[in-house]
Structure 1
């Protein structure tokens, strides 16, 4: 039996389809009614160290929430990390700033992956001001929040103190509860949630090990819990967007080989208002190119979809221009709705 949250969303989708059926003698709907709905709320979940093969191996029985997103949203299992590194902090900083890593070429300069306090901020690492999706939304007067399960994420509230709520808890289940409570109590424009259980299991027992697959299965359930809160209000479903991606994949007990396919290949899934059901994300984006097994550089004329596109995609769907100084999806041409 499907969980109430997934059944609720499926029923909502069916209701929209039935409600859109033409009525004899009725006038055609105005053009505005056929446009993608305005998005006012975005939840981004980064699953640290998520190898897409785990979702495939576990199947719908083991990862029902991921499979709901595949069935009801647009997705790919062949997105890419940043070119320079396949580790946590550099890639998450790219998600939030939509910049590459290499500061000599306009990147954010966060090349470390630990709790160091020097450089203290992203701006100090880059040697110049660096805006983010958080700072741009704060400038627009909108509310944001960050929930993370690794202490090194304290870099972000230090860099952008205008984040309205930031919470770091090592216990993923407890963090999910706190994030769910915040989603229920507050209507923020943007919430960023970081889950690390798969990454921790991968380092301890190996990617694709039984322990790793168990961590992915549990994380799927926790995403489902947040989904059920996010899409609970029928009046807001069409105005809400869920994005799930990762900072890197993994193989063996590591993920630090930037040239390894298992490390640089990641999932990117989108579901919510205006997103077509069951669509390959690349099929919506002729200006992007599915890279196959390749690792295209930033100069490639047609880029792969990257996790670093997240920041500018969030601003785009919320109706704001790209992050100043950004490079990834700077044209805001990553499409998540059908033409």
Structure 2
């Protein structure tokens, strides 16, 4: 099983500013970089379309948080899984994420509009714990989206006390999720973009630089990724873990150096 966890708006330097026990442990258990790069515009839906389809916004055409059909459609990670007979589950609290895959491709989908307070992510965290604890054998891939860190950035400012406190709260939920994940699961935790002041979407380093972390049986331990990493690399790398072929039109690369078999 692969579990992809998105912490929307998480800046790498926030992980230096506060103690996030789960993320620190995941870095020690796997491979990571704090210099991965988002795409322009560094906005949530364009970023997620690039993550799941491994092409930049100039190719998929979604440049705002309003979905429009792709002029030149291509299959994303979830479509590739479905065609290979694998089952995907998505758990999120931002409704536009329904468009990261086409209809009838996801085996299970959970969406709940969040409250605008510290409990913003509690429902999706609890559902992820339930699903992984009770139904993990039913799925090959679980996508879990936490939106509250980004919401705190917009409300109070990136790197504000409220933003950092919310990151720690999400880190706690991540710990509960990993506690019930199957022992042989591969976990990837990343952000879609960072942020500055109370916004994001520019090509500034604060907006474009994100963490990217992977851990699992085939992943090197306590390893710092040397090569550049882009959002476009997530889908091909997860396809490798899942044993399915990347689509021929994907533009990202498999991050081969994270795998144990790549050790020299």
TM-score (norm 2): 0.91
CA–CA separation in structure 2 for the residues paired with 1:219 and 1:95: 21
Distance 1:70 1:333, change over 3 A: closer
Query: In structure 2, how many angstroms separate the alpha carbons of the residues matched to 1:63 and 1:222?
Result: 11
More off after superposition, 260-269 vs 176-185: 176-185
SS of the aligned residue for 2:57 comes to: coil
Pair 1:111 & 2:63 matched: yes
Give the one of 63, 66, 81 matched to 2:20. Answer: 63
Task: Determine whether 1:52 maps to 2:4.
Answer: no
Write the distance in 1 (CA, Å) between the matches of 2:143 and 2:204. Answer: 27
**1:298-338 CA distances to partner (integer Å, 9 max, x unpaired)?**
xxxxxx20122111111111111112311011xx3533223
Residue of structure 1 in register with 2:118 after alignment: none
CA RMSD of aligned residues (A): 1.4
> How far did 1:54 drift?
1.0
**Which residue pairs with 1:197 in the alignment?**
148
* 3-state SS in 1 of match to 2:60: coil
* Residue 76 (str. 1) matches residue 33 (str. 2): yes
Equivalent residue number for residue 176 of structure 1: 125
Structure 1: which 5+ runs fail to align?
1-40, 232-236, 283-287, 289-303
**How many correspondences in the alignment?**
253
- Which structure would you say has the larger Rg? 1
SS at match of 1:85: coil
Whole-angstrom distance in 2 between the partners of 1:309 and 1:191: 18
Q: Distance in 2 between matches of 1:186 and 1:220?
A: 21
- Spell out the pairing of 1:261-276 with structure 2 (5 A cutoff): 261-276=205-220
Deviation at 1:256, TM superposition (A): 1.5
Select which of 232, 246, 249 maps to 1:322.
Answer: 246
**Which whole-Å CA distance do the structure 2 matches of 1:245 and 1:170 have between them?**
22
- Aligned match of 1:256: 201
SS in 2 for 1:242: strand
8 Å contact kept, 1:44–1:191: yes
Deviations 1:233-257 (A, max 9, x none): xxxx2x3100000110111101121
Greater than 2 Å deviation, 4+ residue runs: 332-335
**Residue 154 of structure 1, CA deviation:** 2.2
1:134-181 Cα distance to aligned partner (Å, 9 max, x none): 111111111101111111112235x24211111222331111111221
